[in-house]
Amino acid sequence: MIDVIVFLGIQGSGKGTQAKLLAEKTGYQHVNIGDLFRQQIAKGTEMGLKVKAVLARGDLVVDELVFLLVNTSLEEDCPGIVFDGFPRTLAQANYLVANYRLKKVFYLDLSEEDAIARIEARRVCSVCGETYNLLSAAPKQADTCDKCGGKLKQRSDDTGDAIRQRVSEFYTQTFALKEFFVHTGLLSTIPASLGIKEIEQKISRELI
Ligand SMILES: [Zn+2]
């Protein structure tokens, strides 16, 4: 069985950053399911076509397909996986525990209010797609891309009700997952309000 470390946390909690850092440090493969799907679709692989068809029908991608995708995307001799924002459901969590050697689950805890504020502060360049955050990674000049001078905008799903809905869905879903992982004794909750370095150090200490 392959070793697995899981990062859970809402968008803006910094889980992607920490997952990447830990993957670099350990040599584990960083796996973000959404990215895997997009890569397979872009490459036009058989798996990508399957996923695309399912998404086009508006269906949820079934768990079997998700795990098949993960297993076919692993590099040879991959020493372990850092999952970024996965599992999302209890069924996926059960499958994960049964088929991988789960070492640790890190939950980056961010309050609902802070999560909304961080998402609302996101901006993207309308020309080159570079991303910014007015709270943590602001552009040098207001509303202007540092790289290309393009105008910055907010994604339509990063505003008002769309955020509130997404955030509240996340907390409902994640509550059940957290309970599940508490019972495995492997859950570690870390305040996402800490700095990147501090969080990184906490994570390292927990893994010794
Ligand atoms: Zn730009």
Q: Is residue 62 part of a domain?
A: no
- The pLDDT tens digits of the residues spanning 146-205 come to 999 999 999 887 888 888 888 998 999 899 999 999 999 999 999 999 989 999 999 999
Number of domains in the chain: 1
Catalytic residue, candidates 88, 103, 178, 202: 88
Catalytic residue, candidates 50, 166, 178, 202: 166
- The pLDDT tens digits of the residues spanning 99-152 come to 999 999 999 999 999 999 998 999 999 999 999 999 988 999 999 999 999 999
Query: What's the predicted TM-score (pTM) here?
Result: 0.83
Answer yes or no: are the C-beta atoms of 16 and 122 closer than 8 Å.
Answer: no
Sign of the torsion angle spanned by Cα atoms 107, 111, 112, 118: negative
- The pLDDT tens digits of the residues spanning 102-115 come to 999 999 999 999 99
Q: How confident is the model at residue 60 (pLDDT cuts 50, 70, 90)?
A: low
* pLDDT of 74 strictly over 80: yes
Q: Is residue 96 part of a domain?
A: yes
Residues near ligand 1 ion, CB 5 Å cutoff? 125, 127-128, 130, 145, 147-148, 150
Q: How far is the CA of 99 from the centre of ligand 1 (A)?
A: 43
43: which 2 tokens? 């490459």
Answer yes or no: are the C-beta atoms of 122 and 136 closer than 8 Å.
Answer: no
Q: Is residue 67 part of a domain?
A: no
Query: The domain containing residue 129 runs over which residues?
Result: 3-28+79-203
Q: What is the mean pLDDT of the chain?
A: 90
Q: Is residue 131 part of a domain?
A: yes
Report how far residue 150's alpha carbon sits from residue 96's, in angstroms, rounded to the nearest whole number.
43
Q: Is residue 107 part of a domain?
A: yes
Report H helices in the chain.
Answer: 15-26, 33-43, 46-56, 63-73, 90-99, 112-120, 160-184, 196-207
Q: Is residue 149 part of a domain?
A: yes
Q: How far is the CA of 57 from the centre of ligand 1 (A)?
A: 33
CATH code where residue 174 lies: 3.40.50.300
* pLDDT of 46 strictly over 90: no
Q: How far is the CA of 108 from the centre of ligand 1 (A)?
A: 30
Catalytic residue, candidates 38, 151, 153, 155: 155
Q: Is residue 154 part of a domain?
A: yes
Q: How confident is the model at residue 71 (pLDDT cuts 50, 70, 90)?
A: confident
φ/ψ region of 14 (left if φ > 0, alpha if ψ in -120 to 50, else beta) reads left
Q: Is residue 60 part of a domain?
A: no
- The pLDDT tens digits of the residues spanning 188-197 come to 999 999 989 9
